[in-house]
Amino acid sequence: MKVVGVVGLGAMGSGIAQLALEAGFDVVGHEVELARGEQARDRIGHFLTRKVEKGTMEQSARDDAVGRLRLTTELADLAGCDVVIEAAFEDLAVKHELFRALEASVRSDAILVTNTSALSVTEIASVLDRPERAVGMHFFNPAPLMPLVEIVRAERTADDVFEAAYELGRKLGKTPIRCSDTPGFVVNRVLIPLLNDCVRVLDETGVSPEDLDAGMQHGAGWPMGPCALLDLVGADVHVHASEALYEKLREPRMAPPPRLVRMLKAGKLGRKTGEGFYTY
């Protein structure tokens, strides 16, 4: 594999593109508007510059990496990619349209990857003529910093495609784990109800977000508290993932807590809107 396509250059897509550039791949980044693609390039450039400033990357390597990112608004420009990783909006209809269009644009041997966190990879791949070429690679937020990637085998994923995705995860410097296409895969199956419990505890006990976060950081060894983590992930992303899990598993703990739904409706999504449990 030499050329990686990334479709959707939001927080996850730009992080995945950054990893691919750092690993030496040529990257074609697709966004619906060029300005959004340019924002992603600036973001990647910023984080790589920080690495240079901290002495963990040479300036020439930084410039070379940023120079290997080509931006486009045309899916046809992904034709030369060996693998395309889709990190678009978490909506089945959007992913279906995208996968259909991608299959028409890319080479017949190119692998199609979805970074979905809560939808079924099997369902996403069901619109393809050749669903065996599709696989899930679920990265964690922030993608450049979190070591894990879940490699998700859909019902019809071919063995060689699954192993190629696993190998790609390793080339991107991640610790890959092999998962089946079950709701929430492995980590979100555990983490989503756990974070929902944390939010319910806020209301049940009257503890403040600051104290709950301090409790989980200093009493349970979490790298950041649950409220800070929800602000990082975004109430929109978390509520959507909770609803998707609840729909499939019908366990009350999977359903999004009313407090988070209220925050979502009020536009208090977390870091991305400047206000969530905390203000930024």
**Active-site residue 188, yes or no?**
yes
Instruction: Pick the piece of the chain touching ligand CAA (CB under 6 A) from 127-135, 139-147, 201-209, 264-272.
Output: 139-147
Active site residue 117: yes
By CB under 6 A, residue 178 contacts ligand CAA:
no
SS3 26: strand
Residue pair 103/112 in contact by the 8 Å Cβ criterion? yes
Least distance (Å) between residue 74 CB and ligand CAA: 26
| 173 contributes a contact to ligand CAA by CB under 6 A | no
Structure tokens at 96: 């279906």
Tell me how far, at minimum, the Cβ of 115 lies from ligand CAA, in Å: 9
Smallest distance, ligand CAA to C-beta of residue 117, A: 3
Distance CA 128, CA 125 (A): 6
Three-state DSSP class for residue 280: coil
Using rule CB under 6 A, residue 15 touches ligand CAA: yes
Radius of gyration of the chain (CA): 19
**Tokens representing residue 13 in the block:** 């897509």
Q: Which CB, 48 or 84, lies closer to ligand CAA? A: 48
Site string for ligand CAA, 217-256 (x = CB under 6 A): ------xx----x---x---x---x---------------
Cβ neighbors of 17 (< 8 A, separation 6 or more) are 4, 6, 9, 27, 29, 40, 44, 69
The active-site residue, picked from 117, 120, 196, 242, is: 117
Annotation marks residue 138 as catalytic: yes
Q: Which is nearer to ligand CAA, 75 or 225 (CB)?
A: 225
Give the nearer residue to ligand CAA in terms of CB position, either 156 or 268: 268
The residue with tokens 């486009």 is 72
60 catalytic? Reply is no
By CB under 6 A, name the one of 142, 186, 207, 211 that touches ligand CAA: 142
Nearer to ligand CAA, 80 or 142 (CB): 142
Residue closer to ligand CAA, measured from CB, 110 or 198? 198
Q: Binding-site residue total for ligand CAA (CB under 6 A)? A: 18
Task: Name the residue nearer to ligand CAA (CB basis): 25 or 75.
Answer: 25
Strand extents, DSSP E, the chain:
3-7, 26-30, 69-72, 83-86, 111-114, 134-139, 148-153, 175-180
Q: Which of 72, 59, 58 is nearest to 26 (CA)?
A: 72
Q: Which residues have C-beta within 8 Å of that of residue 22, sequence separation ≥ 6?
A: 48, 65, 144, 173
Tokens of 167: 């190998």
The stretch among 21-29, 79-87, 143-151, 198-206 that binds ligand CAA (CB under 6 A) is 143-151
For the residues of 235-261, what is the DSSP string, one character each?
A: HHHHHHHHHHHHHHH--GGGSPPHHHH
d(CA 35, CA 242): 31
Q: Is 145 in the site for ligand CAA (CB under 6 A)?
A: yes
The set of catalytic residues is 117, 138, 150, 188
Binding site for ligand CAA (CB under 6 A): 15, 47, 50, 117, 140-142, 144-146, 188, 191, 223-224, 229, 233, 237, 241
